[in-house]
Amino acid sequence: MKRRFFVLVAIFCLVLPSAWAQAPQTASTGGQPAVVKVTGEVLTPLTLTATDLAAMPRTTAVAKDKQGVPHTFSGVALSEIFNKAGVTTGRQLRGENLAKYLLVTCADGYQVVFSLAELDSSFTDRVVILADQIEGRPLPAGTGPFRIVVPGEKKPARNCFQVTTLAIRFAKE
Amino acid sequence: MKRHYRRYGIVLATGTAVIFLAAAFRPPHAARRNPTPYTLSYPAYFGNRINTTDDNPLTNEGVSLGRHLFYEKRLSANNSISCGSCHQQAHAFTDGRAFSPGFDGVFTKRSAMSLCNLLWVRHFFWDGRAASPEEQVVTPLTDAHEMGQSLDSSARKLRAIHSYAPLFTAAFGSDSITPDRIVRAIAQFERTLISAQSPYDRYIRGEYQPTVTEQRGLVLFYTNPDRNRGIRGAGCGNCHSGPKVFNETYHNNGLDSIPTDPGRADVTGMDYDRGRFRVVTLRNIALTAPYMHDGRFATLQAVIDHYSDHILPSLTLSPSLKDTANRPVNVQLTPEEKADLLAFLRMLTDSSFITDPRFSDPFADAGHHTKTDHHIISE
């Protein structure tokens, strides 16, 4: 049993450095810096970089991982990003604007939806954030650089990884 | 003055009557008939997130033209191959090869994909680089090593084949044969390739009782393994999910620790997309060997062995193939579990799809594709 574990660790140690060594080469195929686009029903479309997020008002959110262990994430509240982009929030979030939703798209094509009311401080105390740090350190490669953290959600399926786009849409029916 | 009006009135009335009568007695075939809308039929459990567009509504005549063009070898530079050469109906629209020869004998860089339920695909190809069937169709037609012919040349060649003018007229209202119409017609045909008659479909509809091994395979397929709670599963449904056994996401499924084909990264330029490919449908999977974007696995058994025992760690390996498994990194299924999974995958074969005359080669028995015919209009 122990032997097998060590073999695995050894394989990891052999494989990972070579995979890292590959990384600079990927820069030639692109290796662009990651950004999050804010599009759709906004007054000012945004393309947020890591630096942009660092300069915005920051907050934290706690969410459990698959094993049920809580972690503290930090980043920017979605409502903060909405204000910067000119999304209908607060007192403007009434009438037809209640038929608006946020469509989050991730690098792997995964998509989840929130209604705008679910994310608004005049409706709920829950603060959903676009996180770039876990326990004060950058998010690990598989989930970062940017992910959604929804505190208190029973199923972590909307805590999605590698967010690339936040699109505000109108339900059209 | 008054008389004048009366005369005008009489002339007008006679004129209208003549026009009316002419219209009423015009022989029916002379009337310009609009193409008839094509009725897409598919099960409600597939959902309606489909990729139709108002720009190119499906019509019976457009789809029929598209089918002819799909099998038209004269759309290739030396009249040697059609879409149907790499996408053969008997193989669920693949060709049984890892890589396929184009018109010039040069092999494709990736494996020909199976074509089924494309109506629900939003980004085409292994790396998702084409955003619509219309955009996708242009690639094989014009790629230097696939069919190798400009759309203009294709249109010119088709104009010289008399049988096409009536087909274009029926589909688009006039006999003008343009690159745009060629593309639209083939895209319409693609959207109709719907497979929903497999034993798995009959099971979903409550019309088929799976065998014991199929049933166990089905459960394994959709169950996430959880070591802590002693739950065994193959976790396939994380990616190949739902009744379509398809989920439009991109993942690195552990084929290589250093991917040779950048996959999705070619499209996005992002390092985290390196070695990610689109999760393809598993419908008709027993018919579409060899498997993966490079056709590296000859059998489904080899695919299952891969997921069970040979997942390779890398920077972009999908999180769902990492620690959730029965064992770290690999799922490690027993031989019996592997056999069950295989039985489930075989439930996805739709034998009516691969024999459906609506999707078959219209030239096959018509004797249209004779050798001499090919050489009449070589450029």
Domain B199-346 has CATH 1.10.760.10: yes
B147 touches chain A (CB under 8 A): no
Q: Which of A26, A104, A164 to probe by mutation at the B interface, max B CB count within 10 Å?
A: A26
Which residue range(s) make up the domain with A106? 2-170
| Closest approach of A95 to chain B, Cα-based (Å) | 27
Looking at residue A93, the DSSP 8-state letter turns out to be -
The answer to whether the CB of B9 falls within 8 A of the CB of B3 is no
Asked whether residue B8 carries a pLDDT value surpassing 60, the answer given is: no
| Closest approach of A16 to chain B, Cα-based (Å) | 7
Closest-CA residue to B126 (of B249, B307, B254):
B249
| Closest approach of B262 to chain A, Cα-based (Å) | 8
Of B257, B269, B316, the CB nearest to A30: B269
Q: Express as a percent the part of chain A with pLDDT over 70.
A: 83
Q: Confidence band (pLDDT; 50, 70, 90) for B38?
A: very high
Of B249, B322, B324, the CB nearest to A108: B249
Q: What is the ipTM of this complex?
A: 0.78
What's the domain count of chain A? 1
A25 touches chain B (CB under 8 A): no
State residue B321's pLDDT score. 87
Mark yes or no for CB contact A141/B272 under 8 Å.
Answer: yes
B159-179 pLDDT, tens digit per residue, is 999 999 999 999 999 999 999
Of B228, B248, B258, the CB nearest to A19: B258
Q: Provide CATH 1.10.760.10 ranges for chain B.
A: 2-195+353-359, 199-346
CA distance B265 to B207: 43
Mark yes or no for CB contact B270/A34 under 8 Å.
Answer: yes
List the CATH number of the domain containing A135. 3.90.420.10
Select, from the ranges A14-18, A143-147, B237-241, B292-296, the one with the highest average predicted confidence (pLDDT): B292-296
Six token digits for residue B128: 């998702």
Cα-to-chain-centroid distance, residue B98: 18
The answer to whether the CB of B168 falls within 8 A of the CB of B65 is yes
- B2-195+353-359 CATH fold: Cytochrome Bc1 Complex; Chain D, domain 2 (1.10.760)
CA distance B331 to B341: 13
Q: Which of B274, B318, B330, B332 to probe by mutation at the A interface, max A CB count within 10 Å?
A: B274
Of A31, A66, A67, the CB nearest to B271: A31
Asked whether residue A150 carries a pLDDT value surpassing 70, the answer given is: yes
Asked whether residue A25 carries a pLDDT value surpassing 50, the answer given is: no
Q: Confidence band (pLDDT; 50, 70, 90) for B16?
A: very low
The answer to whether the CB of A36 falls within 8 A of the CB of A125 is no
User: Helix (H, G, I), strand (E, B), or coil: what is residue B152?
Assistant: helix
